[in-house]
Structure 1
Amino acid sequence: MPIKFIDQLDLSKKKVFIRVDFNVPIQKGQITNDARIKAALPTIEYAISKGAKVILASHLGRPKGKEVKEFSLEPIAQRLLFLLKKEVIFSENCEANGNRKMIQDMKEGDVMLLENLRFHPGEEANSPHFATQLSKLCDVYIDDAFGCVHRAHASVEALPRLMKEKGAGFLLKKEMEALSTLLKNPNRPFTVILGGAKVSDKINLITHLLEKVNTMLIGGAMAYTLLKAQGKKVGTSLVEDDKLELAKYILEGVQKRKVELLLPVDHIISKEFSEDAVTQVTEGSEIPDNWMGLDIGPKTVQLFLETIQKSQTILWNGPVGAFEMAPFCEGTRRVAEAMAQNKGFTVVGGGDSVSAITQFKLQFKFSHVSTGGGASLEFLEGKILPGISALEV
């Protein structure tokens, strides 16, 4: 079923409810990273320009259905005022009864931010009653919170199902188009780079992508589980011992589909995980007893870079080493730099990968950087996402 986009809807003089993802880090009342707020600005500014009464709604943190001051959206209202260069009305609650009169009094182009949706127990419970209350506030529903579309919550799933006029904002549209390109029509060679701690977290992604990719590069702790499944020594490296059969299943699937799989051929190893750790480089793909792998080695870096350079489409999800500590960040940094220089279609997804490219100041060098960790993973796994299916008309 088709989904309408915000620029296909009549917003003029309408009360437009925009579900945004303002789940940003806040320390001592100060926002430390406003990237998610900035990502929603094109949709908000478009609605303002069309003369809509704009009602913004988001969650922040996990207050578990109670009002918790540290999770208030008030600091976000202040940041929005600065970014939009216009007044933002802040409502101290997210319920219909307290807001109807305020919304009625709004002028065309005015913006209101509701208090944290998760202060209401009905939000995470996907309560039909709470969704019905929210529906009374608006004429049009727009979802621009890609990071939440995999959650069946009231403002994401139940509310849009009640609305006749509904659609996706520009951010959600951009995410869907970029990720769909990977699944439906990627230019080849298509390479997927996977990292992170657990094979079990990525099994559905690997299985779904096996029929679509040419090459798979795997680093991070995931690689140690796969290497152990091949019968190789991995020392005291982080391994999912209860997932070795799963790892063997992946290795068989790769072989069956004739996908080229590149695992680390050497490692940066240490006996401790710390900033001043003494490190060594292994000669080959095995790791000696009492040592643990914490990054890919220089030969592996070279191997990965050669593949990245000749790829036309690249998806990266998960760092290939413990990049947050200086002795173990080189592999992830080199992969990020090579991808940033690639002229093809490059997509980065997953919170840790996005943190890594931000740390290396490369976040604007890719075709697409996904704002949704779990959502992008589930989309690429081919799952039906509640927040997207609820927008279908």
Structure 2
Amino acid sequence: MNFLRMSELSLTNKVVLIREDLNVPIKEGKVASDARLQASLPTIKMALEKGAAVIVCSHLGRPTEGSSEAIYSLAPVADYLSDKLSAPVTLNNDYLAQGVAIKAGEVVLLENVRFNEGEKKNNAALAQKYADLCDVFVMDAFGTAHRAQASTEGVTQAMHQAGKTACAGPLLAAELDALSLALETPAQPMLAIVGGSKVSTKLEVLHSLAELCSQIIVGGGIANTFLAAQGHSVGASLYEADLVDTAREIMGKTEILLPEYVVVANKNDIDFADFTGSLQKAVATIKSVDNIGDNDMILDIAPDSAIKLAAAITNAKTILWNGPVGVFEVDAFGQGTQIVAEAVKNSQGFSIAGGGDTLAAIDKYQVADGVSYMSTGGGAFLEFVEGKVLPAVAALQINE
């Protein structure tokens, strides 16, 4: 993938606008989870080390465009960055009208871009105002790269039209490099692990991966639909009857690895208004997929079956993981995901993992040090896997 990289540029005395993904939870005026902020810090520090004046922008939450809602202010993020950079990071609320006065070595954080009318609709005039703030634009927010918005795709186009530089930041570049390695030139055999509640939400992902992978492990409600496609009864389990034929079609393209034994609970023991809470008290029973009762809900892969699947993971040269294989939030229904996670960790192949639940499982089972790359992208990760063009990335490749 060819695009200009910030790491290659001279930035001395340049005003650099960096689009980061600083969309973090805020509680009582403080940052509640700083993973995305930690990920952005190396890019900001690199720009400072290169002698730039650094302007940072991001969205936070889903405010009503055109109105400044205090609960969506980036003020707590400015405080966090000031602490981590050991230097004042000022929050600028008036940048569209007054511009930004800044010198090399300083950092200014722009107030939430979604306060600006036209941000989500990729308004060209707004994008131009962002471009007017800087000499160099750095797109570093992979998590928003699948959205054509004024602070992502629009400003990149405006920079090109003005003859200015637009480039990828280190975080975005690392995401694209890892995904390209896994999807464009994967070492074979390649194996994917795809979990989740519904085939319909991962349908395009499964079709795309079926063309690339020698084997796919499916888990969660997705696996139930494939078990039904094999002719098994899945009892009271979540599955999609209207996609059974689609599951068979995917099974005709690649080898779908399914468990022989699963962990079930009786549906009558489950309060669906408090699903995970009630599962803490439910009885977990291991059953053959040939022996699922009418009231049984399949909620995990049984340990022995998970160990067999782990052997396939061990043999793979490339592993893509998106989604847990059971209700791992409850320990009684988490062993399958734990065994799969540890197999990914211990594999000698290149592994890439993405999606919020997947990263939560990686954190719970402490296997991060064995995963080659963890994507922070969420929706952008899935769209890239589906083979879709990410607008903000495509814009960076213009005129290359």
TM-score (norm 2): 0.92
Percent identity between matched residues is: 43
Residue ranges of structure 2 left out of the alignment (5+ in a row): none
Contact 2:326 / 2:336 at 8 angstroms: preserved in 1?
Answer: yes
Question: Which residue number corresponds to residue 149 of structure 2?
Answer: 153
Contact 2:263 / 2:333 at 8 angstroms: preserved in 1?
Answer: yes
Question: Which residue number corresponds to residue 241 of structure 1?
Answer: 241
| AA of the residue aligned to 1:205 | V
Question: Which residue number corresponds to residue 296 of structure 2?
Answer: 291
Shift of 1:72: 1.1
Question: Which residue number corresponds to residue 10 of structure 1?
Answer: 10
Q: Please give the residue correspondences for 1:88-237 in structure 2 after superposition, counting only pairs within 5 Å.
A: 88-93=89-94, 95-98=95-98, 100=99, 103-104=100-101, 106-163=102-159, 164-237=164-237
Do structure 1's residue 332 and structure 2's residue 334 form an aligned pair?
A: no
Contact 2:234 / 2:297 at 8 angstroms: preserved in 1?
Answer: yes
| AA of the residue aligned to 1:114 | L
Aligned partner of residue 61 in structure 1, secondary structure: coil
Q: CA RMSD in A?
A: 1.5
Q: What is the count of residue pairs matched by the alignment?
A: 383
Q: Please give the residue correspondences for 1:32-111 in structure 2 after superposition, counting only pairs within 5 Å.
A: 32-65=32-65, 66-93=67-94, 95-98=95-98, 100=99, 103-104=100-101, 106-111=102-107
Shift of 1:286: 4.7
Contact 1:266 / 1:300 at 8 angstroms: preserved in 2?
Answer: yes
Question: Which residue number corresponds to residue 367 of structure 2?
Answer: 362
| AA of the residue aligned to 2:74 | L
Shift of 1:285: 4.7
Pair 1:172–1:285, CA change in 2 (3 A):
farther
Aligned partner of residue 364 in structure 1, secondary structure: helix
Do structure 1's residue 262 and structure 2's residue 252 form an aligned pair?
A: no
Shift of 1:92: 2.7
| AA of the residue aligned to 1:85 | S
1:173-216 Cα distance to aligned partner (Å, 9 max, x none): 11001000111222222111110111112221222222221111
Shift of 1:359: 2.0
Contact 1:5 / 1:169 at 8 angstroms: preserved in 2?
Answer: yes
Shift of 1:319: 0.6
1:313-350 Cα distance to aligned partner (Å, 9 max, x none): 11100110011122211111111111112222111111
Q: Distance in 2 between the 1:120 and 1:359 partners?
A: 38
Contact 2:210 / 2:250 at 8 angstroms: preserved in 1?
Answer: no
Contact 1:266 / 1:286 at 8 angstroms: preserved in 2?
Answer: no
TM-score (norm 1): 0.94
| AA of the residue aligned to 2:208 | H
Aligned partner of residue 48 in structure 2, secondary structure: helix
Question: Which residue number corresponds to residue 318 of structure 1?
Answer: 323
| Runs of 4+ residues deviating >3 angstroms | none
Pair 1:364–1:86, CA change in 2 (3 A):
farther
1:260-307 Cα distance to aligned partner (Å, 9 max, x none): 221121111002242111111102355210110111112321111111
Shift of 1:229: 2.2
| AA of the residue aligned to 1:242 | D
Q: Distance in 1 between the 2:93 and 2:370 partners?
A: 39
Residue ranges of structure 1 left out of the alignment (5+ in a row): none
Contact 1:3 / 1:167 at 8 angstroms: preserved in 2?
Answer: yes
Pair 1:376–1:48, CA change in 2 (3 A):
same
Aligned partner of residue 299 in structure 2, secondary structure: strand
